[in-house]
Amino acid sequence: MRFLALFFVALSATPLSTAHNIVLPRDASAETYAAIALARALPNSPSGGYAPAPVNCPSTRPTIRSASSLSQNETAWLEVRRNKTVAPMISWLNRMNISGFDATSYINGISNNATALPNIGIAISGGGYRALMNGAGFLAAADNRTSNSTNKGQIGGLLQATTYLAGLSGGGWLVGSLYSNNFTTVEALRDGSSTSSIWQFQNSIFEGPDKGGIQILSTAEYFDTINNEVDAKNNAGFNTTITDYWGRALSYQLINDTNGGPAYTFSSIALADNFINGETPFPVLVADERSPNTVIVALNSTVYEFNPFEMGSWDPTTYAFAPTRYLGSNFSAGVLPDNETCIAGFDQAGFVMGTSSTLFNQFLLQINSTGLPSFLTTIFTNILTDIGEANDDIADYDPNPFYQFNNATNRNANTKQLTLVDGGEDGQNVPLYPLIQPYRGVDVIFAIDSSADTTFFWPNGTSLVATYERSLNATIENGTAFPSIPDQNTFINLGLNSRPTMFGCDPTNMTALGPIVVYIPNAPYITQSNVSTFDPAYNTTQRNAIIENGYDVATMGNGTIDADWPTCMACAVISRSLYKTNTTVPAACTTCFSKYCWNGDLNSTTPSGNYSPNYLLTELNIRSGASSFGISGSGLTLALLAALILA
C-alpha cells in the first residue's frame, strides 16, 4: 500500500487554492456555535478506533433478510416519523400559500392515513464538493432552523416535513456530515468554530486540517495518523484499499471530532435520540457494485444502499439486506454460523461516505477530457489502470455479507468479496434509487442535481434519463415506477436544466403510480457554481458563495425570479395525495403545473456550441482563489504525483 501513501503525500504538495480572509456578511449566532459544539454522533466502534472488532452477538443472532419488504426497524421508525411530519407539513403548506386550499383541515383529515399523507423525499446528487455545497444551499433553504428561512419567499420547513433524505458521492458527504454531527444545521457546519476543522475546505484533504490558524498536525503527521488507522484495520484481518485512506481523510472535514472521529459508525445514527424520536428524516447513501477486474459500471449493475439499519440492494440480483451494525461479520447463506463472532465497527462513517464516492475510476474514464498534457494523460492512465487492475480503487466489503445467499440471481453469491464504487458510476448520479422503491411509497422527490454532464460542468438531465431507462428494463426495475424523461438535448434546448422542472405531474400517464419528480438543477444565480468535481480545495469566500447560490437555486432567488415558486413546490408535495383522496386540484396548482411540468415536448437537435448559462441574478463580487477547472490547473501537483509513484 506504499503507493497509496505516496498518492496522498504527492497531492498535498501543491495546494490548488489559497485562503482569503473575506467572508460573506452572515455571522454565526451563539446558538450556532452551541449547536456545533454539541454536534456528536456515537463513537461506538468496539475497538475505540477505525478498526472493526469482535463484539458479543445479540441473543437473536443477526441474519440476512430478503428484500421483499421494508425492515421491521424501518417500519417501526416510520410510524414515529410520519406523525412528526404532520405539524411541520401543515405549517409549511400554510406559509406556501396555496390560494383556496385549507392545508390545516386537509392534512389533519388524512393524518392517520399513511398512504394519503404526503411522503416527501429529497435526493442530493454526486459531484464532489460542488454537490456538497450546492446541496447544502438547498437543505439550508429547506430547514426552518436556518436564519430567515421562514420569511416570505422562503421554503424553510420543507426539511422538517420530509421523510427520506438520500445522498450520493458529494451529496453523500453532505448527508453523512449532517447526521454524523447530530443532524446539526448547514449554518453550523458552514460557520464552524475556532476549535473545529469542520467544512474547512480551504485546507485540502491532501494537506490536512487547520484549526484556528494553527496546524494541529503537520502534513506528514496527518498522513501518518491516517496510515496507522488503516493499518490497524488491516492488522485486524480486514482488506483495505484506497477508499479507506480516502474516507479517513474526508472525515477530518466532515466529522467534528478529534482525528475525524475514527470510532464513529454509520449505524450509530440509529442510536441518536433525535433519530429514535423521529425528529429527522431517514438518511440513505448509495453505491454501485463493480465486478472485480472491470472498469465500466453498466446501468444494470446492482445498486446498494446504506441506511442506519441496513445495507443491501432492492435489485432482483442481490435482493437482500444485511444489518449495518454487523457488517464485517462472516455471514454465509444468510446466517452467522455459531462458530463465527459478531463484528462491529466495519461501517465506520467515513468509510461508508468514501464508499459512495470512490472517484478514482471516474477519473480514469474521464481523463481524456481533463485538459491534461498528453504525456500526463498517458502517465495517469497507466497509474490508474494499475490501481484498478489491483482492485485498489474500490471499497472492499470482505467478507461479503451476501455470500451464498440468493444463489440463483446474486452475482456475488460465490465470492467472499463484495466490491463497491461511487454511486454515480452507472449514470444515476442523483440517488433516486432508494426513493422510488414501491415499499417506501414516496410521493414527491426533490432531485437536487449538481452533476457535471456538460463541457463546463453543468447538469443536463443525464441522471434522470438513466433512472428512467433503468425503470424500463424488465430484468432490473423490480416494480419501480418513474415518470417519462426527455433526452439530454431537449433538457438544454428547452431550458429544463436551467430552472426547476416537474416530471410525472399527471399520474394517469404512468402505468404504475410513481412519484412526481421536482428536478432542481445547479445553475448560476450569483456565482459560477460549476466547479470541477476534482477540485480539492475552496477558500471560505467561494465555499460560502456556492452555498448561497444553492440557496438561491432552491428558492429561485428568494422568489425574485418567480414569487409563486414556493406555492408551486407545495402543489408538487400535495399532488399525489390529492389524487389518492380524489380531491379537486386547487386552481393555483393547475396554474403551477402549467408553468413547471414538462408537457412532453421534445427538441432533440444537437445544441450549438458548449452550454454556458448566463447569470440569473446579479453576480456576487467575490475574488476566488480556487480554480473552477481544478484538474487542468494542477499540472505541477499531478506531475509530482506521477514522479513519486513511478519512482
Domain harbouring 229, CATH code? 3.40.1090.10
Cβ neighbours of residue 410 closer than 8 Å, sequence gap 6 or more = 317, 318, 319, 320, 402
Angle at which helix 219-235 crosses helix 2-11, to 10 degrees, equals 150
Per-residue pLDDT at 216:
55
CA dihedral sign of residues 225, 226, 227, 228: positive
Helix then strand then coil, % of the chain, to nearest 5: 40, 10, 50
In a domain? residue 7: no
Per-residue pLDDT at 203:
85
Per-residue pLDDT at 28:
35
**d(C-alpha 605, C-alpha 135), whole Å:** 31
Cell readout for 314 is 432492492
Structural domain for 446, as ranges: 17-358+394-629
**d(C-alpha 623, C-alpha 632), whole Å:** 20
In a domain? residue 268: yes
CA nearest 422: which of 297, 567, 528, 248? 297
In a domain? residue 174: yes
Cβ neighbours of residue 590 closer than 8 Å, sequence gap 6 or more = none
CA dihedral sign of residues 617, 619, 620, 626: positive
Per-residue pLDDT at 11:
39
DSSP three-state, residue 242: helix
Per-residue pLDDT at 192:
87
Contact 173, 431 (CB under 8 A): no
Per DSSP, helices labelled H in 442-564 are: 462-471, 488-493, 540-555
**d(C-alpha 250, C-alpha 264), whole Å:** 13
Instruction: Calculate ∠ Cα 8-11-13, nearest 5°.
Output: 115
Strands 120-124 and 164-167: parallel
In a domain? residue 11: no
Mean pLDDT by 10 residues, the chain (647 residues): 41 33 32 37 88 97 98 98 98 97 98 96 96 98 97 96 97 97 96 84 81 57 89 96 89 92 96 97 96 71 97 97 98 97 98 86 52 57 57 85 97 94 92 98 98 96 97 94 97 97 94 95 97 87 97 97 98 98 98 98 95 95 46 32 34
Q: What's the predicted TM-score (pTM) here?
A: 0.89
Contact 436, 430 (CB under 8 A): no
Cell readout for 184 is 446539526
Per-residue pLDDT at 292:
65
Per-residue pLDDT at 67:
98
In a domain? residue 367: no
**d(C-alpha 337, C-alpha 329), whole Å:** 10
Q: What phi and psi values does residue 626 have, to the nearest 5 degrees?
A: -105, 130
Look-up: residue for cell 459531484?
127
- The amino acid at residue 255 is I
**What are the beta bridge partners of residue 332?**
335
- Count Cβ atoms below 10 Å from residue 76 Cβ, excluding itself: 11
Structurally, the chain folds into a number of domains equal to 1
Contact 403, 415 (CB under 8 A): yes
**d(C-alpha 333, C-alpha 405), whole Å:** 5
Q: How far is CA 242 from CA 114, 149, 246, 461, 614, in A?
A: 43, 40, 6, 31, 39
**d(C-alpha 285, C-alpha 179), whole Å:** 12
In a domain? residue 334: yes
Strands 501-503 and 516-521: antiparallel
**d(C-alpha 402, C-alpha 399), whole Å:** 9
Q: What phi and psi values does residue 544 have, to the nearest 5 degrees?
A: -65, -35
Per-residue pLDDT at 196:
80
Per-residue pLDDT at 204:
81
**What are the beta bridge partners of residue 448?**
124, 520
Cβ neighbours of residue 263 closer than 8 Å, sequence gap 6 or more = 43, 44, 45, 47, 48, 49, 50, 345, 348
Angle at which helix 635-646 crosses helix 2-11, to 10 degrees, equals 160
Q: What phi and psi values does residue 611 have, to the nearest 5 degrees?
A: -65, 120
**d(C-alpha 558, C-alpha 536), whole Å:** 30
In a domain? residue 385: no
Q: What phi and psi values does residue 51 have, to the nearest 5 degrees?
A: -75, 140
In a domain? residue 363: no
